[in-house]
Every structure is written in structure tokens, then in C-alpha cells.
Chain A
Amino acid sequence: MADFGGTDLEAFRAEVRSWVEANFPASLKGKPNPMAREERGSEPTPDQEAWRKAVGAKGWGTPTWPAEYGGGGLSGAQARIVQGEFARAGAYNPIGGMGVMMFGPTLLEYGTEAQKQEHIPPICRGEIAWCQGFSEPGAGSDLASLQTKAEDKGDHFVINGQKIWTSGAQWADWCFCLVRTDTSKKHEGISFVLFTMHQPGVEVRPIPLIAGSSPFCETFFTDARAEKKDLVGPLNGGWTIAKRLLQHERSGLTGAGGGLGSGGKPIEVLAKEYVGLDDQGRLADHDLRTRLVTNAMNMRAFQQTAVRAMVEAKGNASPSSATSIMKNAGTQLIQERHEMALEIMGHQGLGWEGDAFKADELAAVRGWLFGKAFTIFGGSQEVQSNIVSKRILGLPDLTQAK
């Protein structure tokens, strides 16, 4: 289907529309994806299950992935139509998580035929939840210093060590994990392995965060087992794959919305409500007003840059240099907004729980606290700046930081 012509696409749109009408349970209209919050407290309802299965069978949750592995096999234009029709019907994409965002695309690129046949279809059907065993207590920014050890036992590896920040590990079925298979080298001693989380050698402990309970875990491996067939790429060749996977992760992290991140009202609206206007219709707190409008203008320039980068990426073969600044620019703007939301709410923006505070006041506090992680994970603000100054600006690197 390489046809970008209008008629075929319109026919496809009609097909998708009637399929969505026939398959999307009305009870889920406008509801958020139950998988999106990684805190899956309750079992999915029959309607949620039916929707997941229907989309999974079509492969439309992973629309551009190859059909032979259970993907939709669609062109980009067709994928956008599916997305548009889902949105039109108030339907969420029930297929998601780390398998879709990072692991699947990486395995499609680096996996063997057998690995793809085994692991990609369950991702497309939304049956298997994956978690990322990368960071360790001693290996954060310097991920390649990781120490979790995998010993070769013939047909399998035995894994010992500790991971941290394993998002969703308490619900995950499988883990894609970086392990050390050669202690004499740094980057060239790392392998990329897959194994089930449902085994005795895996212990998971959720990490309470400054914002409260969280889906992030410490994960301990004591003689855990990974089959040899689940080694992705060559032995000691995992670092290249990991870097590719991190690119997928980062490209998912750069979007900065205009809202609070907690689904609340825009802060300009909040400011009018909590601070009020002066007799000329300006925010009564002029100091706040100046900082608010500075942020709003920068936010606008950020969005303009996102659009420009997209246009340039289409026109040129190489990615626009604008993309390298997006994570730092976007996360800073969001953190500023979080801070101002608190300031705007004043005493009401200091609550932890209880009915003296409105739900969106409490959400602003939790959102502000969790938002501090935006400049830490997915490549910290400092690491991103290093990338810009060294790789883009060509400034010398005096550290071993890679």
C-alpha cells in the first residue's frame, strides 16, 4: 500500500470508521487507557478486554509494525487515519507500554527471526507487559558501568545483581535487561538479554517517591535465569542495542503540553481564579504575571520549534538539529509551570491530602513533586547538555562521559 493518493486513503478511512463503530464498546467512550497509568490496581473490565483483543487482532495498536509479526502493516498516512478515527470515536489505543514504545521497535531492528516471531506478536496483542532493566544504583548517567552479572551456563545465563527504577516491574511479565558478560571491558562487556519476571530468582520492591507511591521498583536478581535463545544481538554487543532503545525512549519524552501535566486547568486560568485581576484586567500580582507570560512565550517558541523540527525532518535526510534541545527546553518549561501552579494556589497549593484541598490542588502538588524527575530520567538535564555541547557544538570532551 504505497499509495498516498486521496481515494484509497478515503476508502481506508471509511473502513476504519465502520470497524471502530462495530467494535469499540460504547461504555469506554472518552475513558483513559487503563494501561496508561502504570498503576494497574484492578482487573480490566470485559469491555476493556474486548477492545484490547479487537485492536490487537487487527494489529492497529502498533499500526506501522510489519503484519507478519502481528503489526498493522500500515503506511504512516494510514496509521494517522487509524489514530484520527480512534480519537473521533473517543477511543483509546489499548496497546501500549514499554513493549510498544521502546522494546518492540528495537527487537524488530536487532532481533533474529525466531525472536521476532516469539516476542513481537504478544506485544501487538497487548498480552505481555515488559519492563526495562537498565539503571542500577551505581550506574545511572553512566549506564555502561552497570554490574549486574550474567554467567554463561551453556544453554542459559544465570543472572545476579540489582536494578533500580524498573518501571512497572511489579506488573511486568518480561524484562529486557542489560547485563555484564565481560568484566574486562566497559561498553564491550554488556549484553542485552530477555527473561521472564515470573521466576523465583526475581524480587521486586516498589520505591516510594517524594510524590508518594510509584510504579518504579528496585529489582533484585538472585540466580535468575535467561535462556540463550533470548540473547539479543551478539554476546557483549548489547550496548549498541541499548543506545538505540534509549533513542526510542527519549523521543517519547520530549513532548511538553500546555497544561499542568496533571490534567488540570491551564495555569493562566488558575492565576485569574486564585490571584484575581486588577482594575485594568491584568493579573493582580504583576510579578507573577511577568514570569507567567515569559513562560507562556517560551512555551510557544518551544511548540514552534517542535513544528519546525518536524517539517525539517520531512524535507531533509538527517534529523533537524533542533531536536537535540527539545528535552531540556520542554522539561524546564513544564517544571516552571509546576512551580507557578503552586505559587498561584498559595496555601492551597501545599496540601498533601484531605478534604481541605480540592482534587486539582492536591494533583498540582503531586505533579510538581513528580515533575522533578523529568530532568533526571531519560538522560538528565546535565547529560543532555553534554550531548549538545559535545556532539552538536563540537566542544572538547575532557571526561570519560560518553
Chain B
Amino acid sequence: MAVLTEEQSMLRDAAKSWVQEKSPVTAFRKMRDSGAELGYDVAAWNEMAEMGWAGVIVPEEYGGSNFGYLSLGLVLEELGRTLTASPLIASGLGAASALILGGSEEQKQAWLPKIADGSAVAALAIDEGPHHRPEKVDAKVEGGKLSGKKVFVLEGMAADLFVVSAKSGGAIELYLVKADAAGVSRSKLSLADSRGAANVTFENVAVSDADKLTGGAALLDKVLDRARAGLSAEMLGAALQAFEVTLDYLKTRVQFGQVIGSFQALQHRAAKMFTELELSRSAVEAALTAIDNDAPDTAELVSLAKAKMGDTFHLVSNEMVQMHGGIGMTDAHDAGFYLKRARAAEAAFGNQAFHRDRYARIQGY
């Protein structure tokens, strides 16, 4: 674990106790069973916002606390443990980063305070096909009209504002588009992990220079890296919890007159998972720290974190089911939630293959 400042420790402890009290996995189950339209519990999100978590990376002059990405990662890790569903990654991390890094003063004034206090939800509308290929953009702006189709937009149903990638004069740009603008339509996706997502269509939506962020493709890359690192922190929390629940089961489930954790076949696999989790934590913390320091090797560290964390969560989520035996296959057990969340998180913002390829490219091979 990274050495934390006092503020960071307090933030993490607050998140830990809130999650335990207010948002255990049973809360996620309830949300799923209720078929919540937005894919999260609005009341819980409001509480999170009240505690300031939507504004952790937002500068103080726009209503945030400016604690940085490692700090936000601590919160996300705690939320990830119990699979707490919320627009924090889409809004308080992804879209907020886009505004902080590429927004004009007016744009920041208009949106950051609302994002920071949770009164507005913003979402990244980037992907257009079944895979994360942010450089492939067919959406375009011509004659002041934005048209295109975006898929798998996380929190797309809840969003008041979209940060949309589109080509203008052949170059990728990011635009701010209000969800209630004429020409915007969205349809809810019902996903295996029960989180909120939508396909969003933009048809001749009026945009002007005032809606454009500054920075183009390089800005998009930076924004995505922040979302990837934050998501990796959430995945770390989820994988840790999945591991700990499994470890508990190894210590309690008895077969053949002994706890199953006494079988070396399982012990060594538990040790392997623990090893992978330790390696993953290092990668995730390094990526978040690099972002806070605006380090030149941020991109490769983020790809390392997302790929490593993806592999680890993949492993642990599979083992959680396998080591629980039949009970892990039942919907009444939580193992399935972690398994489903793992694959959705792996795919979001680039899967392991994507980030291995990106890492190799950055390294020049």
C-alpha cells in the first residue's frame, strides 16, 4: 500500500466504513433485483456525493477538494470491494478529467461544480464498435452538426452531459453535448453485470466552438488513461474482496473431514492469487501516482495497470466460483456478481490484449 497522507487515510477510512455500513453486496443485489433504470441506487449516489467523492480530483475553485487521482483510487477501491454501482468513474473521474484538462473557463464553471456535488452526471461517449478502439472515430462534426453512434456508454442513461469524441476536419476532438439536446437519443443496455450503460445516437446535434474541449486526440488519450487507472483501482478492490471471501471459504468449508483449505492443490492457488494481487496493487498505485505527478511515462504505466489488473481479476473471479464448488454457481451466492463485473471491467476502456499491445508500442516493439 502506498504511503498515504493523513487526508488520504481519512478519506479511505471514511469510504471503508460507509461501504461496510451503507453499501454491502446485498445493496448491489437489491439494486439488481429492483431492475433499477439507471443501474445504480440514486440515494446511495447522493450520499457519496455529499461526502465529496464526486469532487476528489476537481480543483477547489470549482467545488472539489483537489485531492488527486491516488486519493480517488482509494475511494474506488473501497467501492469496488462490494461492487457498489455509481457514476463515479464516468462522471467524477472520466468526464471531470476531460473538463479539468481540456475545458475553457466557462466550460469548467458550467459543469465542474455540478459534477463535484453530484447534481449532474456526465459520461464519456467514445467507443463505436464492439471493441475499445478510441482512434477509430466515425462520428463527425460538419457545418456545426454532430452526428454519430456511440456504444457501451457507461452511465449513458443517467448522463446529463456527454463528452463525445468526433472528427472535425479530419482530427479527433472532444465535444460537450447535453443529453437533452435536440438530436440525442439513447437506449438502455441490459448488461450481465447489471451496471448502467447505453447506446447513444447523435443526429445532427448543434455544436459550436464553445462546446469543444481543447486538446484533441492527445486530450482523449489522457482522459482515457485517467478512467482506466481509476477503473483499475475499482477492480483491485473487487478482486481483493473476491479473494478474501474465497479465502474465508477455504478456511470453513469441510469435505473429507477437513477444511478444503488444507488441500495443497488449493493452498498453492490461493498463494498464487495473493501474489498476483500484490503485483497488481503496485501497478495500480504506480499508475495513479504517475497521473498525479503528470509523469512522462503515465501512458505505459496505465496500460500496465489495466492489463495486470484485468488478468488478476479474471483469475480471481474464476477461482472464486471454482473454489466455492456448486454453491458458487448459484445466483444466491455473490461469486457470480464478481465474475460478471470482472468481464465487464476487463472490456471497458481496453481489455488486456489492447493494453499489452499499447504497452509494446510505447516501448517501441
What A residues does B127 contact at CB under 8 A?
A: 347
**In the complex the two chains form, is B325's CB within 8 Å of A285's CB?**
no
**In the complex the two chains form, is B131's CB within 8 Å of A275's CB?**
yes
Scan residues 310-365 of chain B and give those whose CB is less than 8 A from a CB of chain A. Answer: 318, 321-322, 325-332, 335-336, 339-340, 343-344, 347, 351-353, 356-357
Of the residues A142, A354, A399, contact of B190 by C-beta under 8 Å = A354
- A346 with B339: in contact, given A352-B191, A354-B189 (CB under 8 Å)? no
Of the residues B131, B258, B356, contact of A346 by C-beta under 8 Å = B131
Query: Is A92 interfacial (CB 8 A cutoff)?
Result: no
What B residues does A145 contact at CB under 8 A?
A: 255-257
What A residues does B188 contact at CB under 8 A?
A: 354
Scan residues 225-283 of chain A and give those whose CB is less than 8 A from a CB of chain B. Answer: 274-275
**In the complex the two chains form, is A210's CB within 8 Å of B329's CB?**
yes
CA distance A175 to B339 in the complex (A): 34
> Which of B80-88, B116-124, B139-147, B192-200 interfaces with chain A?
B192-200
Q: How many residues of B contact A (CB 8 A)?
A: 48
**In the complex the two chains form, is A352's CB within 8 Å of B194's CB?**
yes
What B residues does A35 contact at CB under 8 A?
A: none
What A residues does B332 contact at CB under 8 A?
A: 207-208
Rounded to whole Å, the gap between the CB of A397 and the closest CB of chain B is: 10
> Which of A24-32, A48-56, A118-126, A369-377 interfaces with chain B?
A369-377
CA distance A17 to B340 in the complex (A): 49
Query: Is B171 interfacial (CB 8 A cutoff)?
Result: no
**In the complex the two chains form, is A401's CB within 8 Å of B256's CB?**
yes
CA distance A141 to B256 in the complex (A): 8
What B residues does A356 contact at CB under 8 A?
A: 187, 189-190, 199
Query: Is A400 interfacial (CB 8 A cutoff)?
Result: yes
Scan residues 163-190 of chain B and give those whose CB is less than 8 A from a CB of chain A. Answer: 187-190
**In the complex the two chains form, is A346's CB within 8 Å of B190's CB?**
no
What A residues does B343 contact at CB under 8 A?
A: 342, 349-350
> Which of A93-101, A109-117, A187-195, A378-386 interfaces with chain B?
A378-386
Query: Is B130 interfacial (CB 8 A cutoff)?
Result: yes
What A residues does B262 contact at CB under 8 A?
A: 399
What A residues does B351 contact at CB under 8 A?
A: 343, 346
CA distance A209 to B130 in the complex (A): 27
**In the complex the two chains form, is B192's CB within 8 Å of A350's CB?**
yes
**In the complex the two chains form, is A377's CB within 8 Å of B326's CB?**
yes
Name 19 interchain pairs, CB-CB below 8 A, sorted by A: A138-B254, A140-B255, A208-B331, A208-B332, A210-B331, A210-B336, A212-B331, A274-B131, A287-B352, A288-B353, A350-B193, A352-B190, A365-B192, A373-B326, A373-B329, A376-B321, A376-B322, A376-B326, A401-B256
Bits for B253-293, please: 1 = Cβ < 8 Å to A, else 0: 01111100011011000000000000000000000000000
CA distance A82 to B328 in the complex (A): 41
**In the complex the two chains form, is A369's CB within 8 Å of B336's CB?**
yes
**In the complex the two chains form, is A372's CB within 8 Å of B322's CB?**
yes
- A207 with B130: in contact, given A350-B192, A400-B258 (CB under 8 Å)? no
